[in-house]
């Protein structure tokens, strides 16, 4: 059964009926105060005033529960600008009550949250409708599934089993989000992950990254999406990569990689298996990679910070294959692969490394 986190009916009143609607919230005055506060709405909806609200919670811990409820109510309701319905306030409220009584699947929700909804209706001086189920106008059910967000920190790896039995291995510093019910097999990725997709020809699996979408039926592939650049490397099966506006699309075969970035759709080339998939076995490989890219990669992998002296040429390229164990051993092997020992390193602390 689908989750209806926020399903309400059309309610629209003139300013002279605002007081009656506000009375619906009389048993929850604390929550109503939050919802009707401009600063609270700016904080919840626009991220304005984080520091002020953090201090408020520290000073008023007893308000934490009410604030949480008010915040969830704001986030779970979508507002739609629409023309004012015909008829006076009595007809409007009657339509509201009739709709609630006929919609059994929202009855319990409305009974519990009607007071809060009434307060939300007043937001902006009564200029919005709450998203709707209306017997008068064309019905629109607003289903807002909860989003699951899984992420890894620097130097952290994670393996997930999605609801459809797809296996996902997350590389370091990666975020993966998807709907809780997973009715649509779709995830959004920022970072890098290996996917082993459970076959289902009737329900394609989709990975969204920076304006691109990778569509598969059942396969194994790697996706990296960092700083606006995306690469999709196919190991087994078949995938299609396309832009989200439906203009460009390419199909990949095993052993091929799609690379996109710098505002272009992208191109296809071949890849080295260890360069792409090595991280899943705790191995990293570089092939003529600029030092600036390597250090950025190692910062994520080992959760360290590099201090690079101006004399170091960050465009110089390095090659090598290394196990992801000791950073000290890796740097020794990597930096000394050059024909001359032109770059040195030293650990200033456990988390800081100087390159000179």
d(Cα 71, Cα 67) in Å, to the nearest integer?
6
Q: Is residue 8 part of a domain?
A: no
Q: How many domains does the chain have?
A: 3
Whether residues 155 and 257 share a domain: the answer is: yes
d(Cα 258, Cα 217) in Å, to the nearest integer?
18
Q: What is the pLDDT of residues 236-264, one digit of tens each?
A: 999 999 988 878 999 999 999 999 987 78
For position 172, which CATH number holds? 2.60.120.1440
Q: How confident is the model at residue 244, as a pLDDT?
A: 82
Q: How confident is the model at residue 166 (pLDDT cuts 50, 70, 90)?
A: very high
Q: How confident is the model at residue 304, as a pLDDT?
A: 97
Average of per-residue pLDDT values in the chain: 75
Q: Write out the residue range of the structural domain in which residue 42 sits.
A: 15-130
Q: Is residue 140 part of a domain?
A: no
Q: What is the pLDDT of residues 91-142, one digit of tens each?
A: 544 544 444 444 443 344 333 443 434 434 343 333 333 333 333 334 444 4
Q: Is residue 293 part of a domain?
A: yes
Higher pLDDT, 83 or 76: 76
Q: What is the pLDDT of residues 17-61, one digit of tens each?
A: 333 323 333 334 467 677 777 788 777 776 677 778 878 877 888
Report yes or no: 301 and 154 within 8 Å, Cβ to Cβ: yes
Provide the token pair at 345: 């390193």
Q: How confident is the model at residue 73, as a pLDDT?
A: 65
Q: How confident is the model at residue 75 (pLDDT cuts 50, 70, 90)?
A: low
The pLDDT of residue 11 is above 50: no
Higher pLDDT, 48 or 345: 345
Q: Is residue 300 part of a domain?
A: yes
Phi (first) and psi of residue 296, to 5 degrees: -65, -40
Query: Among the residues of 77-103, which ranges form H helices?
Result: 89-102
Higher pLDDT, 258 or 9: 258
Q: What is the arithmetic mean of pLDDT over 224-234? A: 95
Q: How confident is the model at residue 226, as a pLDDT?
A: 94
Report yes or no: 99 and 133 within 8 Å, Cβ to Cβ: yes
Q: How confident is the model at residue 8, as a pLDDT?
A: 33
d(Cα 85, Cα 343) in Å, to the nearest integer?
73
Whether residues 98 and 182 share a domain: the answer is: no
The CA dihedral of 308, 313, 319, 323, to the nearest 10 degrees, is: 0
Query: Among the residues of the chain, which ranges form H helices?
Result: 18-23, 29-35, 38-46, 50-59, 64-76, 89-102, 104-121, 123-126, 273-277, 291-302, 327-335
For position 312, which CATH number holds? 3.55.50.30
The pLDDT of residue 325 is above 80: yes
């Amino acid at each position: 059964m689908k989750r209806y986190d926020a399903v309400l009916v059309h309610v629209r009143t003139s300013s002279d009926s605002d007081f009656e609607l506000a009375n619906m919230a009389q048993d929850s005055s604390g929550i109503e105060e939050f919802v009707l506060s401009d600063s609270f709405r700016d904080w919840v909806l626009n991220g304005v005033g984080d520091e002020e609200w953090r201090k408020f919670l520290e000073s008023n811990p007893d308000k934490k529960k009410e604030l949480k409820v008010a915040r969830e109510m704001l986030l779970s309701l979508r507002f739609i600008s629409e023309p004012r319905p015909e008829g006076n306030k009595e007809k409007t409220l009657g339509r509201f009550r009739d709709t609630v009584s006929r919609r059994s699947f929202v009855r319990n929700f409305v009974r519990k949250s009607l007071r809060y909804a009434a307060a939300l209706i007043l937001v902006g001086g009564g200029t919005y409708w709450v998203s709707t189920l209306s017997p008068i106008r064309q019905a629109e059910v607003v289903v807002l599934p909860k989003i699951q967000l899984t992420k890894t920190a620097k130097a952290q790896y994670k393996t997930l089993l999605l609801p459809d039995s797809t296996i996902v291995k997350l590389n370091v510093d990666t975020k993966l989000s998807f709907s809780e019910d997973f009715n649509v097999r779709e995830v959004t990725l920022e970072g890098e992950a290996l996917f082993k997709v459970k076959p289902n020809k009737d329900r394609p699996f989709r990975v969204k990254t920076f304006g691109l979408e990778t569509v598969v039926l059942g396969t194994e592939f790697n996706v990296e999406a960092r700083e606006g650049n995306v690469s999709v490397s196919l190991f087994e099966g078949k995938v299609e990569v396309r832009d989200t506006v439906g203009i460009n699309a390419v199909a990949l075969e095993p052993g091929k990689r799609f690379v996109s970035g710098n505002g272009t759709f992208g191109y296809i080339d071949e890849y080295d298996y260890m360069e792409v998939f090595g991280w899943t076995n705790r191995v990293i490989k570089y092939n003529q990679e600029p030092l600036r890219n390597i250090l950025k990669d190692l910062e994520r992998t080992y959760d360290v910070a590099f201090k690079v002296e101006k004399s170091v040429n960050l465009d110089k390229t390095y090659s090598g294959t290394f196990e992801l164990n000791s950073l000290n051993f890796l740097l020794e092997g990597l930096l000394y692969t050059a024909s001359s020992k032109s770059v040195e390193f030293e650990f200033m602390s456990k988390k800081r490394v100087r390159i000179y």
